[in-house]
Amino acid sequence: MHRWPVYEGRIAIMTGDAEADEVRTWLERHQCVVLRKPFNLREVTDWLAAVFRMGRGARAGGAEA
């Protein structure tokens, strides 16, 4: 994500092992949502709605989170 910082906050990691060393290390360096397996469709749609709200704020001239 260091190459494309615009995607910060717009990436979700879907994992069954968020506590694994390599996953935890990556998550400490990058801001992103973690959807822990098993996740449900509501969690995914809630996250997508938040990403779309972020995009609308940016297009309207608002500050990005």
Token duo for residue 40: 């449900």
Confidence of residue 58 (pLDDT cuts 50, 70, 90): low
| Statement: residue 5 has pLDDT above 50 | yes
State the pTM of this model: 0.66
Beta bridge partners of 4: none
Angle, alpha carbons 32-38-43 (nearest 5°)? 50
Main-chain dihedrals φ then ψ at residue 40, nearest 5 degrees: -115, 170
The reported pLDDT for the residue numbered 64 is 46
| C-alpha torsion sign, points 5, 60, 34, 29 | positive
The reported pLDDT for the residue numbered 65 is 43
| Statement: residue 10 has pLDDT above 70 | yes
The answer to whether residues 35 and 11 touch, using CB atoms and an 8 Å cutoff, is no
How many residues comprise the chain? Answer: 65
